[in-house]
Amino acid sequence: MAAMSKKSDFPAPVLITTSAGVASLCEKLRREPFVTVDTEFVREKTYWPRLCLVQLGGMEDVALIDACAPGIDLSPLAALLAEPDCVKVFHAARQDLEIFLHLFDTLPVNVFDTQVAAMVAGFGEQVGYDSLVSAMTGQAIDKSHRFSDWAARPLSKAQIAYASADVTHLRVIYGKLTRQLEEQGRLSWVKDELAALGEVSLFRPDPRGLWVKLKPRTNNRKVLAVLREVAAWREEAAQQEDMPRQRIIRDESLMEVAVARPHDAGSLARIRGVTGDFSRSELGRGLLAAVQRGEQCPENERPEPPARRRMERPKAPSGVLALLKVLLTARSEEGRVAARLVASSDELERLAQGETDLPVLRGWRAELFGQEAQALLRGEKVLFVSGGQLQVVDRS
């Protein structure tokens, strides 16, 4: 994140490098109503993020836990993150939560994400941390250490200041955001949005479903069956080797493997981007085995082409979709909530096609936009412009 460029009344940060220090701090913070949390990590050369620093801010404390300190026991941190009565405040929490899930095999509970809350409160789409700090604290931020090597030791004074400022800013932002959301009657909206962050499947997707992200341009279901298997194999190999998946084998080479379906090391080595050494290695043998599994997949279990699934779904008339987008923009601006949080483009398409099992037709989204959108689609409402403002009225 980023650090304050102006002095504050926050206490000086404490760098903790011992297990006893972690235990003492976390035991104290567990009894507080909330704690602000951030992490610094490196991931360029590994599959799993390597945790380097954990920043914690309490009512009186600002502390940095050196996760690289030899022999340091972080289990008290796991207990703090699992404390149900203490709110854990993050900004853009997903990467931090993934780190803690990998480290402790469980997700933190009672999480509050200020990025999500800010979108609900009317600060726009995917509000950046620096913009939120400026808007809510009036302070500028220093980005100079954003790309520090957090694994290098010792940490500089500037790095410590940078890292600690993240959790001190969050204390102010959390207090102001919760008060604003209470005034707007939208705290329950935020809780609905944050419920997904408690789902382990969000952070550990099924490897056999990752082939879709490669966006294959083929309707050949046998090729797709092989692609599904080799993509799952690569994900599992990357995890086991703790290596970025692209360093196992690149996307384009994986796609070519699925098309060519090599049966031996020699034919595998002829794939562009695959070396002879790789093809003869244990990884190469694992990849060939995945190809074989895909080829042996029964026809009725082969995946459907994503492009075909999209084609089979009738497209909504562009004019109808345009009207929904106009209404969504108007109601989002009026309600001061990010439009993307209310409904995605895909949801609008499905809504226009008459689908009803959609998030936009439940809870606060339905009240803000979904119910009115359905009335518009049924012809019960009309849109027009009067005095430069969009009006929505019952059809007479």
- Are 89 and 117 within 8 A, CB to CB? no
Three-state SS annotation for 276-311: HHHHHCHHHHHHHHHHHHHHCCCHHHCCCCHHHHHH
**DSSP string over 46-79:** -SS-EEEEEEEE-SS-EEEEETTSTT---HHHHH
pTM: 0.88
Q: Is 61 among the residues known to form the active site?
A: no
Q: Is 277 among the residues known to form the active site?
A: no
pLDDT in tens, the chain (396 residues): 444 334 445 678 999 999 999 999 999 999 999 999 999 999 999 999 999 999 999 999 999 999 999 999 999 999 999 999 999 999 999 999 999 999 999 999 999 999 999 999 999 887 888 889 999 988 877 777 777 899 999 999 999 999 998 899 999 999 999 999 999 999 999 999 999 999 999 999 999 999 999 999 999 999 999 999 999 999 999 999 999 999 999 999 999 999 999 999 999 999 999 999 999 999 999 999 999 999 999 999 999 998 655 554 567 788 899 999 999 999 999 999 999 999 999 999 999 999 999 999 999 999 999 999 999 999 999 888 888 888 888 887
Establish how many alpha carbons lie within 13 A of residue 202's alpha carbon, considering only the half-sphere containing its beta carbon: 15
Q: Is 162 among the residues known to form the active site?
A: yes
Strands 62-66 and 14-16 turn out to be parallel
Q: Which of 66, 83, 98, 166 is flagged as catalytic?
A: 166
Based on C-alpha coordinates, what's the Rg of the chain? 25
Q: Which of 47, 162, 347, 372 is flagged as catalytic?
A: 162
Supply φ then ψ for residue 61, to 5 degrees: -115, 145
Residue whose structure tokens are 């944050």: 194
CA angle 34, 39, 40 (to 5 degrees): 160
Q: Is 206 among the residues known to form the active site?
A: no
SS3 label, residue 199: coil
Per DSSP (E only), the strands in the chain are 3-4, 14-16, 34-42, 50-57, 62-66, 87-90, 111-113, 141-142, 381-386, 389-394
Distance CA 175, CA 153 (A): 34
Distance CA 294, CA 10 (A): 58
Q: Is 166 among the residues known to form the active site?
A: yes
SS3 label, residue 383: strand
pLDDT of residue 395: 84
pLDDT of residue 318: 83
Q: Which of 96, 113, 347, 372 is flagged as catalytic?
A: 96
SS3 label, residue 156: coil
